[in-house]
Amino acid sequence: MVSNAMGASGAWVADFLIGFFGQATGLIPFLCLIEASMIWWPRSYVSPMFRRIGYVFLLTIVAVICFIFIDQPTDAMSNASGGIVGFEIGRSLVNVIGVIYATISLGVMIFLLATLCFGIRWLQMIRSVWQWPVALKEMLGYSTQKTIQKAPVKPVAVEAAEPQTIDPPTEFDSQNFGLNDFESHSTALEQAVAKHEHPHEVSQQTATDDFLRGFGMADETKISIPNLPIHPTLETEVPAMIRLATEQAEYVAPESISQPVPDEIPEHTSWLAQHRDWKAKNQAAEVQPPVSAEAEKPAVPLEEPPEADVFDRLFQSLGSSTSHAPPKVNPPPVESVSSSFTGLDVFERAVSSLDKASAKPAVPVTFESLQADFVKVDSPSLVTVDLVEETSAVANDFEEDSVEDDVLVDANGRRISHSFATVEKRKDLSPLPSMDLLDRPDPHRKVSYSADELRSLAQLLEIKLKEFNIKAEVVDAQPGPVVTRFELDLAAGIKASKVTGIARDLARSLSMASVRVVEVIPGKPYIGIEIPNVRREMVRLIELLETNEYRDPKALISMAMGKDIAGRPVLTDLAKAPHMLVAGTTGSGKSVAVNAMLLSMLLKYTPLQLRLILIDPKQLELSNYNGIPHLLTPVVTDMKDAASSLNWCVGEMERRYKLLSIFKVRNADAFNQKVEEAIANGEELIDPTWKVDDYAIQQTAPRLKPLPMIVVVADEFADMIMQVGKKSEDLIQRLAQKSRAAGIHLILATQRPSVDVITGLIKANIPTRVALRVNSKIDSRTILDEGGAEYLLGHGDMLFLGPGKNEPERVHGAFISDDEVNKVCDAWRERGSPDYVDEILTPYDDDTEKGQGRLLEDGGAARDAMFDQVVSFVLETRKVSASAIQRKFSLGFNRAARLVDQMEEAGIISPMGANDEGGMAQSFDAIYQRALKRKGGEAVLNQLMPTILSPTELANIGDDRYLSMMTKGINQAGFHWQVIENKWPQFEEAFYGFDVERLAHLPDEAWENYLADARVVRNWQKISALKENVMFVRQLAQTHGSAGRFFADWPQDDQFGLLQYLKKHGSRLGGMTGAFFLRRMGKDVYLLSADVCVALQQAGLDIPQNPTSQKDLKAIGQLFNQWHQQTQLPYSHLSKIAAYSVGENYDADYILEKMGQDES
């Protein structure tokens, strides 16, 4: 029987907690009570999650202490005084550091956790403990307070006196003059404006308050404020003081007045009190109001908020706007009233008083007038006000005049921008952000080399060249920000290539990091040698933007690139480029260069002139630009959205071409001029490409507007190509070919300048290129078609091949900090919000190939989710009818009919007949019978089948053989296969038998030497492919044990996935090159030769003659899988039989002779 008051559940919970934490479980109800009190009384100084984590640690430490100090016999760990947790942790802790040090450590941790979790203020708690007798007596109703009564101040007659003008105070005193004159009554004013957290509320500290506040508790306080009689003239001009003195006043008999004063007054710092003391010393000789000895007792000091000088200005304005001969008025009797007020009332009244006072002319103010107006007291009456401390976080603080009123801060006090400012805020801003947002260059920067140093370095260069038997004379030196170019006149008969060949040795001889040789300097008969400067100069973007070339209005898309070798600004017009390729290794400054280009555009063009699409696969480089009004879509980080964005650009390009054709202009700039002229003449141009069927809401054609330039920036387009595949490459190629006239331009950046990323077609359509530092000459040639980028210094040092130039020039890019980017982006966010185009992120179906203008007949609708299951059912049962599909999958007739239509479009079934049933694509039996008939029987056909290795045999093949066969297939592409076959032993010798580890550690110079090695094909793109495939095979071996194990374990029915993997991770293994490689290694794969594709078409599969799309390749794979299930024949045999069933019927002996050399 369970006797627990909470029943069985309570017993289980109690047993569980006691078993784990022992006697420390008694702390749990206390913690739950504290956590529940936080619902009505949130006083914690830490977040709830952090506080609760502290509870767990506190409970654990108490359990350990219970285990150490409470001796309890334990027959099991669950019976220990500290539970399982205390037993395990305590035993280990004692064994390591002993009981004494363990106790000290646990005590310190409890002290820290209690402070953080409960917000205990130890100093206030200690002070409260010393005051506990006074607090106890107060709570019991005993009075231990001292009575403070201030003698009335005798008013000073001012009727017949000449006004004595007070000299204008200076500096800090200018806002607070005359405060020392009211020392006897400043306590009441201080209480009205002083508060620790809420400067608008009045609070009187007592011993009880200190005692309770020491434990994080507060109480409603009831204080007494002396009543201040106000001159009647002030009744209309100073409403705040009238209300404070009369409407909220409760007159009390003088004999009942008592103000509590604690025995020990805590020390506080009050700038108002300090100022009053300082002022009193300076003006003691002028005025000394008579006060009683009892009135000289110190008032309770309170902390003053920094906004308290608002009341000083209030006194000043009141004194300057009131009469100097006030009649004597006795305070009227007022009924006892108990009311409360908040700082908001005081704020509103004070502001209204300041507004009224500032609207009147200033009058000389005298001390006597101020004293008569404010200090005239007939009786020491008190006003009793009940103040309730507000817990809301409403910030109605007074602001000083010297503080900017337009600075916004977040919850942590950090400055934020006016991104969500109102229209009133935005309309006052300039159309473009100011250049002042950019950092200025260091005004104290020094030149890298003096004239004497240049002469010495030139002489040293001539001497070092003589050591290599090169006679040359330095004729000129051009010091730049990063390097200095020396122009040399070579002696007769010395070739420039000889100097280029010793570049590395010359750098070593000069003790330089690198030396670059410029063999041709346009317009001069000299060569150039570029030597790094000792002190590198930082190029700032503002130096390039404050030039006439950048301000040129004729440039459609101005971009700052950097400074050239002589320190001159280098800018370019992207509209003339018309696209740009940026490549460089990690740390070369690629992202900074892209940021400099973007800021160059943002500081010159408005969103009406320029729109951006930013693609950031790394999700870090371009995220700062989110929310600026230039964006057509948020920064794209998902590569599927990147393909959709490029596809939208293709559609927009086609739409713009239609407009250009209709208006008979050749580019977007000429079109914009026509539209602007029509708008200026009051003509309305209607969009001729608009169709009512394309819009669900808009029923009228829109008016034409000038077309903004569109710039697509892909920070790492190699990663995009790897993730998305060939479709993104096709879209980029199409944009690069045609989008110039439409006003759409590309900036493609990559840190992997390999030939499978920067293809020949991309390079042909992107002539403007930026090569930052790369790792090898091969990479440099991939970008620029020449070497030199491997000698750059990094950090923005680049070779820039501008539009229309044949030779690249060396440019030192501008440095842009993240702070500058954020400031410019914040400035644009203040000026407007982005107007996104929703259609940009419409999912791009790679099967429909919208970007190439090929849509499905049903309007591009995606395949049904049940499509693959239905195809499997049809292939297994060979039942093709909507009713059969409807019964099998419990679908509606319409959906089943759509599935049949989709299978028909994919070529899986034949067109529907009269009985509403379709036939399967031609079975393999017919193909097999035709091949048997053509080749002369089954025995001959079996001899023609290729050899297939088992998974075990594939796994036992060495990595070097896989690498060798990859290289052979790559080199045979574009050559006659027999040439490479005859030369292959020399390949084996040149590449060390394709030893993976040896090739992986070859230096870059060794790879470059193969370009002059006659034993191999001296094609640097194919050599580079081998270099990358070495790392690919090595990675397979490290991950799977060997490359053979990887290929052996790959599923047979997923050849499409395997070929995609080879294309993505290998180099030049896409298309049929990868399939031929697998076939030659003995892997069971099918080949898509021309004859095989014809056989597939005759079998009823709707594919082109050369299928390349993923849709066609997947359909082919499904059909081969179905044939394999039907016949149990290997995939290699299926494709061979299909090839033999069509085409020219070669003799079997001829085929056997060529087998293994040329695949059908």
Domain segments of the chain as ranges: 7-120, 144-387, 451-532, 541-839, 871-920, 924-1154
Angle at 253 between CA 249 and CA 257, to 5 degrees: 85
Give the per-residue SS3 of 1044-1092.
Answer: HHHHHHCCCCCHHHHHHHHHHHCCCCCCHHHHHHHHHHCCCCCCCCHHH
The whole-angstrom distance between residue 299's C-alpha and the CA centroid of its chain comes to: 56
Distance CA 988, CA 978 (A): 16
pLDDT the model gives residue 346: 41
Instruction: Tell me the one-letter amino acid at 509.
Output: S
Ordered DSSP codes for 619-639: SSSSGGGTT-TTBSSSPB-SH
Q: Of 438, 416, 414, which Cα lies nearest the Cα of 817?
A: 438
**Are 830 and 421 contacting, i.e. CB atoms less than 8 angstroms apart?**
yes
Query: Could you tell me where the DSSP H helices lie in 468-563?
Result: 496-501, 503-509, 541-545, 548-551
Query: Is there a common fold for 871-920 and 924-1154?
Result: no
Distance CA 80, CA 975 (A): 83
Superfamily of segment(s) 541-839: P-loop containing nucleotide triphosphate hydrolases (3.40.50.300)
Query: Could you tell me where the DSSP H helices lie in 200-342?
Result: 207-213, 234-237, 239-242, 271-283, 309-321
pLDDT the model gives residue 1152: 64
Distance CA 11, CA 163 (A): 87
Instruction: Tell me the one-letter amino acid at 945.
Output: M
Cβ partners under 8 Å of residue 715, min gap 6: 591, 594, 614, 615, 616, 617, 618, 621, 622, 749
Distance CA 896, CA 900 (A): 6
pLDDT the model gives residue 242: 38
**Are 1139 and 1092 contacting, i.e. CB atoms less than 8 angstroms apart?**
yes
3-class DSSP assignment, residue 159: coil
Backbone phi, psi, residue 980, to 5°:
-70, -35
Backbone phi, psi, residue 333, to 5°:
-70, 135
Report the chain's terminal Cα–Cα distance, integer Å.
Answer: 85
744-750/709-714 β-pairing: parallel
Distance CA 703, CA 687 (A): 6
pLDDT tens digits, 490-522: 988 888 888 888 888 898 888 888 888 888 888
- Residues linked to residue 532 through DSSP beta bridges, in sequence order: 483
Residue ranges of the chain whose pLDDT lies below 50: 76-78, 142-208, 211-212, 214-276, 278-279, 281-308, 310-311, 314-406, 411, 419-421, 696, 846-861, 913-921, 1157-1160
Token pair recorded at residue 551: 């301000």
Token pair recorded at residue 591: 């992202």
3-class DSSP assignment, residue 385: strand
Token pair recorded at residue 416: 């934020």
**Are 45 and 197 contacting, i.e. CB atoms less than 8 angstroms apart?**
no
Quick one: CATH architecture of 451-532?
2-Layer Sandwich (3.30)
924-1154 CATH:
1.10.340.30
3-class DSSP assignment, residue 798: strand
Backbone phi, psi, residue 294, to 5°:
-70, -30
Q: The CATH number of 871-920 is which of 3.30.1330.60, 3.40.50.280, 1.10.260.40, 1.10.10.10?
A: 1.10.10.10
pLDDT tens digits, 823-868: 999 999 988 888 888 788 776 654 434 333 333 333 334 577 788 7
Angle at 856 between CA 851 and CA 862, to 5 degrees: 90
483-490/527-532 β-pairing: antiparallel
Give, as one character, the DSSP assignment of residue 909.
Answer: B
Chain position carrying tokens 């001012």: 158
pTM over 0.75: no
Token pair recorded at residue 1155: 């087998």
3-class DSSP assignment, residue 530: strand
